Structure 1
Amino acid sequence: MGEDTAAAAGGGGVPAEVRRNLEAVLMVVDQPVAEYDLAHAFGLPVHAVAATLAELSGEYTAQGRGFDLRQVAEGWRIYTRPECADAVEHFLKEGTEVRLTQAALETMAVVAYRQPVSRGRVSAVRGVNCDGVMRTLVLRGLVEEAGHDPESGALLYRTTSYFLERLGLRSLDELPDLAPFLPDDIEGLDDTGEHTK
């Protein structure tokens, strides 16, 4: 291997581009990835990928990076370094947070006070379609599915324990008494938001 080729190659003799690609994949996975899976994805021998990952891990440590590439039982994954835990925790608690929109707050309030409740009934209370907002609340872990209505078969939703945690509540009994301000005739609405007779 010539000097130029050697300079362009990283650990295990893999090209610098492959090293970058390995880093990119490891930055986005949400669970450890096995050496075999990475080797298969990039068409490389497992031993070359293993050597590259070990070298990258050593480089991150030597450079004092805020993240660490670790091998665990299931494979390799990038983690925050333990010594950075306080900074990360401070940012997550006090730093920039994605705030809920007014529509999301209103939807969450209806679910909290009328749960378990269908999307149709939430939409009827708010006066607008809330399907997209409900999906957002589910993705953020504030609302979850709670089975189906035995009469209509509509999917029902309720708040989660994470919802209580974020509001600093022990139970739904500690919610402020706002239920009287919601429409009384919600029980007379079907799951499409139409009044039933």
Structure 2
Amino acid sequence: MTWTTAASDPNASGARRAGERAELRRGLEAVLMVVDQPATEYDLARAFDRSVQEITDTLEELSREYTEQGRGFDLRHVAEGWRFYTRPEHADIVEHFLKEGQEVRLTQAALETLAVVAYRQPVSRGRVSAVRGVNCDGVMRTLVLRGLVEETGQDPESGALLFGTTNYFLDRLGLRGLDELPDLAPFLPDDIEGIDDTGERTT
């Protein structure tokens, strides 16, 4: 009689590989949903402890599937990295939605985040999140889409995107310049300079 162990059973081995691949796909989707700049295959491979080729193959597979399924978003390889984007054919409805949303009152979280950007600009998302003590990626995207905050460049050391307020922000507040902002800076943490652009404390 021949006994077949899980280690030697090709079906079990195949199922395990399929499960690992499915988990990798889900993990990549989760990470790419929150990145504020394209993620490189190398960085993703290091984070998931997988080969660069496996990461590349999986990302290309996901991108093809989203296109074949007619999803409203696209996974693209740009600027040496991967990131989710809205498909161009939906630009009109997205623009209409955002314009309609201009008059919607900001949430408390959005107001707090906007205050941090206004008083600490130029500032990265990581530092904004560190000041508030919670992840602010989603709120920052909302402020950018509403035209209150915009990208102002990149940190020369970390490469993180930096953000500042817009002229529309000044217009909404009836200000001629940032020097007319109320003196709220003393109420913001002074030790933000000890936090790097990922939100981690450096000292």
* 1:164 corresponds to 2:170: yes
CA shift digits 1:63-89 (9 cap, x unpaired): xxxxxxxxxxxxxxxxxxxxxxxxxxx
Specify the alignment match of 2:143 in structure 1: 137
Identify which of 178, 185, 193 aligns with 2:191: 185
Q: Which letter does structure 2 place at the counterpart of 1:184?
A: D
Does residue 114 (structure 1) correspond to residue 117 (structure 2)? The answer is no
2:46 match: none
1:128 paired to 2:134: yes
Partner of 2:103: 97
RMSD: 1.9
Q: Which amino acid aligns with 2:191?
A: D
The alpha-carbon distance between structure 1 residues 140 and 185, as it changes in their structure 2 partners (threshold 3 A), is: same
Residue 86 (structure 1) aligns with:
none
Measured against aligned partners, the alpha-carbon deviations of 1:70-127 in whole angstroms (never above 9, x if no partner) come to: xxxxxxxxxxxxxxxxxxxxxx9xxx93100000000000000000000000000000
SS at match of 2:151: strand
Partner of 2:156, secondary structure, is coil
2: CA distance, partners of 1:148 / 1:29 = 29
Superimposed CA distance per residue, residues 20-77 of structure 1 (whole angstroms, 9 cap, x where no aligned partner): xxxxxxxx958xxxxxxxxxxxxxxxxxxxxxxxxxxxxxxxxxxxxxxxxxxxxxxx
CA distance in 2, matches of 1:29, 1:132: 22
Identity %: 85
Aligned length: 106
What letter is aligned with 1:149? D
Moved over 6 A (4+): none
1:147 is aligned to 153
Deviation at 1:195, TM superposition (A): 1.0
* Amino acid across the alignment from 1:187: E
Q: Which runs of 5+ in 2 are unaligned?
A: 1-90, 94-99
The structure with the larger Rg is 1
Following the alignment from structure 1 to structure 2, what is the Cα–Cα distance between the partners of residues 119 and 186? 12
What secondary structure sits across from 2:163 in the alignment? strand
User: Which residue does the alignment assign to 2:25?
Assistant: none
